[in-house]
Structure 1
Amino acid sequence: MADVTVNATLLGLLPAASFEKLHALKGLGVCIRCILRYAAISDHELYSLDTAVLNRTWDAFVAAHGGSAVPTGSAGVCTCCLDVFEGALGAAGRADLIAKSKDSGYATSTFMIAIQIPSATLIRQHALNHVVQITTVPIDLKEVLKWCLTPLLAAALNHAAYVATSDISIHLHFHHELSEQEAMQLPTIRDTIVQNKKRKLDIDAFGAVTRALQTALLHASNLPSTLTSPPTVAASPCTLTYTIERAPTYLAGRYLKFQRGLSQTPWVLEGERLGESSVEEAIGDIVLPHFQAKSYKFHTAGREDVDVRMLGNGRPFILELIDSKVASLASAAHYERIQAEVNLKNVDRVEIRQFQLTDKKGFTVLQAGADSKRKTYCCVVWVADKLTREHVARLNGISDLAVAQKTPVRVLHRRTLLTRSKVIHSAHVTVLNDHYMLLRLTTSAGTYVKEFIHGDLGRTLPNVSTLLGCDADILQLDVEDLLE
């Protein structure tokens, strides 16, 4: 757009009746983009023009109305926005935002923008309104930023669409060193801080300052005397921190664990790593690079002990990928290939099934699995007395046996001492020899099976030992299935 065209646009949009007040604002050090906000100009292209072009256009507008071409105080940091506009829309700031967005590497079709600006901009805006006696509310600063930045960032992100809610969010945080100091000029803010000395409060919170200003203006026709009016020219502009990130990506599946001694998650005791790997790492370390994620979290429907195998159809899990560059893969075949890779690299250790993309709703299913499903176990049990038909019949006859379990001694260091009611739905014995048997149990979720066998010093009642009238202990345990 040529300068002449810009001149014509501004001359047509800026009403002559507004000239004196707008010119006064410029004289108080307000930047040209803020003046356009005060003039209620909604032409997005004007705000997006280069700063030098805008200033030349303003000079032409002033000349047409017989005003001074170089108003006092107009060359420094904007007394209204503290150069928020220049930081984002000036040539250097705009180029930096575009470069960072292009280099971010995110594959996305949509994005959203979150903008945080210093609360001092709001205080200064009210002070300027008071000095120049402007009654109209200028267009919201953040709204103008979104108008101008949306097409720039969309192009930088390979023409992604701006939407209100997206898994890709761009955060623009403008900060100024004077903002907290100026917020303390408001009586409500100052009193709140004094009354809450022991609490760490966000003095620069935009919402708190907005409410404080509303309170101050509601009870007085003038600005509080504690506010600096007109606002002074800041020595330095605000700084801008740019971040772009993706909301977590969720992958679901079921895992089987064939190797005893492999923990579900990394096992760290008193700061020392125990075990070379874990189920979590066997899966997550292979999946991570496919999605170019920063890290991952492993969530499961319950857990088995480190010395217990997980068999049957496997245990449901969700792998939460943190800030992944890729949110989803092109087809189901891609997930099948990752599944095959995990299984090939973990033969006789870990296997995954039904690997697929999911969302947060998957956690509801996961929790339901941990809380409400019946579970089938197979254990190798030793008994002190010689096994008899009566022993076998007694155990095979179990049907919905109510069991009271105090928190086991082995987990008391990390779990609350409680008595939990559990149910042994059924049992089936396969005798191995006089003192050993395979015992298959179907129990309610959360049953401590090891303790049901040996009794845990009488903390689980009844138990296999009390049912048979002799000592009993468990040698091996497998989770065979999680039942609906």
Structure 2
Amino acid sequence: MDQQKAIFKLCKGLGCCDSCCLRYLGIRYQNAYENAQTFCLKFQDKPANAEKVDQNKPTDISPPSSTSENTVTSETNVSTDDKPTENVTNDESNNVNPGDDTKTDIKMEEDTSNKEDTDSSNGNVATSNGNGSRPAKRRKRDICTSCLGLLQKDGWPECNAAVKEVLDKKQYDSKTFGCGLSAPIATILREKVICLKIKEAFPDFDERSITTLKESWKWAYGPQLAQHIGIALDSGSVSPLLIVLNMEYPDDLQELEILKTLSPDLFESRSRQRKRFTVEFTRRSVEQALEGATLEALTALRWGSVRSADSAASCVSVVCTRTPLYLGGRYIKLSRELPQTPWLLGGKRMMESSVQDIIFEPLAKAYGMSEADADHRLKFMSAGREDVDVRCLGDGRPFAIEITDPRRELTAGELQQICEAVSSTGQVVLKKLVPVTKEDLTLLKSGEENKTKTYEALCIKLAHSKSSDTTQNGTTPITVTDEDISRINSYRNTPEGAPERIALTQKTPIRVLHRRPLLARTRHILDITASKVTGHPQLLVIRIRTTAGTYVKEFVHGELRRTAPSLGDAIGAPVDILALDVTNVQLDWPNKQ
């Protein structure tokens, strides 16, 4: 406890607020920072004549006045509202180095002709104003030299107002929130100097033991913000709503300039890589520059002791975001003139709409999003995709939508209304839309590679054989024979008993080369059956079950032998495809319970 008291007094002498003193003592629980003024009493020497300390008032921890000519004494209030001003002497115990031009935060009243009463709650100095006496003047705010005012209550009303303004505009429906801080980078330099000063006085001090500024800020600022906005404070990793305050300090860049002298190689290297390092000072670069810094090196740069701050850090912006929500379902596509997502070619939309557009429209309306807003806040994901001219029938294709920064969760009734609005278009049918988790998306994406799909293809036989013309002797029409059907239904190029009937080697189809690399891939057909089409002797229907990623169109016509074997190899005649439908995507997603 004696060393803790000594460190507390040293930090006070360096201009730290109560909360920062607790940080350097390694105090790591919330109640201490919520009630820093009261909690700090245990680290202070009580006045000898004090029988009782009123804990609701700032506590004077100044030592008894000295008559020494070398001692200047000023009253110090222990409060998170005002940074205390310690007694300053020329001896080593008060950490003022003779010749050090660092400013010492000492406030002296020039005019002492009138008795003054100090109101610690608002930082005003009130003077007698009767009979023509001079008007009351406001005392200059004492700014913590470590946190630059972030842990002091004076600046919190301004922060609260900024948060409330954003929340009132966005209208989040959330019962809890987590809070985050973007602090001025200069606080890293100031923290380093204070740690070195403590280390100089107490060699066994470990700077890794201090409580981070962000953590102590959450503990100190968060509870009163919760009271102000009427939402319960929770962990940022638990609550869906995160409120981040961006704080800036006017002298940030000016103070950090010394690091270019302290660590010239680092910043010269960053300067040569301007495309990579667009910002001169980052938290990481400042931490790197200060890793091996010594008090002697900083003293040579006139940072032998932490400097007083002429102005406090202030809130320049508030960013409120809610954790993304995810919706899952299965869409049925009835049109042969509808891409899954907007089809852009050379920046030009090739078709009027898409499955994505049709689903997004009522969803964006439910959230009150503009078209531009929906473009960057809604994201479409699916287990594979079908071509523009391919229908997706049966139970449909699994898909999910990510909603960035949602204001609220939609009710089951609202989700059903969205399904009805989508289905009313006659192009897409949406039977169910349900909330899913981020973990569920993993199954969706893995299913894209591991699922199996069943297709139904309408095909046409183009010749009697691969070597013949379209007619035999000019008189016999081309027909699908029973032998053709039998050959397809029994065709296999894998060993008997293998789960796959046909192993294919497929080069990337020419039609998708603009968006996929040219590769030769092995794909499998698990099952295939064929049947004739009544009334159309040249046509046949095949029902085919494949592994993910199989190009069925290319399997039918072979694409100039880029896919081998093809359906034509099974019957010994050229075949082409007229229409294709996906009839089943074997993936239990979303969970059908």
TM value normalised by structure 2: 0.67
- Cα deviation per residue 1:397-456 (whole Å; 9 max; x = unaligned)? 235111111111111122111111112222222323232222222222211111111111
Q: Which has the larger radius of gyration?
A: 2
Match of 1:342 in 2: 422
- Which one of the candidate residues 508, 523, 533 is aligned to 1:407? 508
**1:315-394 counterparts in 2 under 5 A?**
315-326=397-408, 328-330=409-411, 332-343=412-423, 345-346=424-425, 348-385=426-463, 386=478, 387-394=480-487
Q: Which ranges in structure 1 are unaligned for 5 or more consecutive residues? A: 1-13, 49-55
Does structure 2 conserve the Cα–Cα contact (< 8 Å) formed by 1:249 and 1:321?
A: yes
Does structure 2 conserve the Cα–Cα contact (< 8 Å) formed by 1:102 and 1:156?
A: no
SS of residue in 2 equivalent to 1:434? strand
Mapped pair 1:209 → 2:302: no
Does structure 2 conserve the Cα–Cα contact (< 8 Å) formed by 1:259 and 1:349?
A: yes
Q: How far apart are residue 227 of structure 1 and its match?
A: 5.3
Mapped pair 1:113 → 2:213: no
Mapped pair 1:61 → 2:46: no
SS of residue in 2 equivalent to 1:305? coil
Does structure 2 conserve the Cα–Cα contact (< 8 Å) formed by 1:88 and 1:97?
A: no
- Cα deviation per residue 1:28-61 (whole Å; 9 max; x = unaligned)? xx6687578679893524679xxxxxxx966x83
Does structure 2 conserve the Cα–Cα contact (< 8 Å) formed by 1:82 and 1:238?
A: no
- Which one of the candidate residues 544, 548, 569 is aligned to 1:466? 569
What CA RMSD, in Å, does the superposition of the two structures yield over aligned residues? Answer: 3.6
Separation in 1 of the partners of 2:364 and 2:524?
Answer: 40
Separation in 1 of the partners of 2:173 and 2:401?
Answer: 20
**1:16-415 counterparts in 2 under 5 A?**
22=12, 24-26=13-15, 42=32, 44-45=34-35, 61=60, 65-66=64-65, 67-68=73-74, 71-72=106-107, 75=140, 78=143, 79-85=145-151, 89-127=155-193, 140-165=212-237, 166-176=239-249, 178-186=251-259, 189-196=263-270, 197-198=272-273, 199-200=276-277, 203-210=280-287, 212-217=289-294, 223=298, 225-226=300-301, 228-230=303-305, 231=307, 233-234=309-310, 237-291=313-367, 294=373, 295-326=377-408, 328-330=409-411, 332-343=412-423, 345-346=424-425, 348-385=426-463, 386=478, 387-399=480-492, 400-415=501-516
Q: How far apart are residue 306 of structure 1 and its match?
A: 0.6
Match of 1:52 in 2: none
Separation in 1 of the partners of 2:384 and 2:256?
Answer: 49
Q: How far apart are residue 270 of structure 1 and its match?
A: 0.6
SS of residue in 2 equivalent to 1:42? helix
Separation in 1 of the partners of 2:449 and 2:23?
Answer: 56
Does structure 1 conserve the Cα–Cα contact (< 8 Å) formed by 2:250 and 2:311?
A: no
Does structure 2 conserve the Cα–Cα contact (< 8 Å) formed by 1:87 and 1:240?
A: no
Separation in 2 of the partners of 1:210 and 1:352?
Answer: 53
* More divergent stretch after superposition (383-392 vs 33-42): 33-42
Q: How far apart are residue 224 of structure 1 and its match?
A: 5.6
- Cα deviation per residue 1:122-166 (whole Å; 9 max; x = unaligned)? 312443566797757776433332123222332355433312413
Does structure 1 conserve the Cα–Cα contact (< 8 Å) formed by 2:530 and 2:543?
A: yes
Separation in 1 of the partners of 2:277 and 2:555?
Answer: 50
Separation in 1 of the partners of 2:576 and 2:297?
Answer: 83
- Cα deviation per residue 1:80-126 (whole Å; 9 max; x = unaligned)? 43343469834333333334334431111222222121221131244
Match of 1:437 in 2: 540
Does structure 2 conserve the Cα–Cα contact (< 8 Å) formed by 1:108 and 1:157?
A: no
Distance of aligned partners of 1:443 and 1:38 in 2 relative to their CA distance in 1, 3 Å threshold: closer
* More divergent stretch after superposition (241-250 vs 185-194): 185-194
- The amino acid of 2:293's aligned partner reads A
Does structure 2 conserve the Cα–Cα contact (< 8 Å) formed by 1:292 and 1:324?
A: no
Does structure 2 conserve the Cα–Cα contact (< 8 Å) formed by 1:394 and 1:467?
A: yes
TM value normalised by structure 1: 0.81
- The amino acid of 1:176's aligned partner reads Y
- The amino acid of 1:383's aligned partner reads K
- Which one of the candidate residues 572, 578, 583 is aligned to 1:475? 578
SS of residue in 2 equivalent to 1:447? coil
Does structure 2 conserve the Cα–Cα contact (< 8 Å) formed by 1:150 and 1:162?
A: no
In percent, how many aligned pairs have the same letter?
30
> What is the number of residues matched between the two proteins?
453
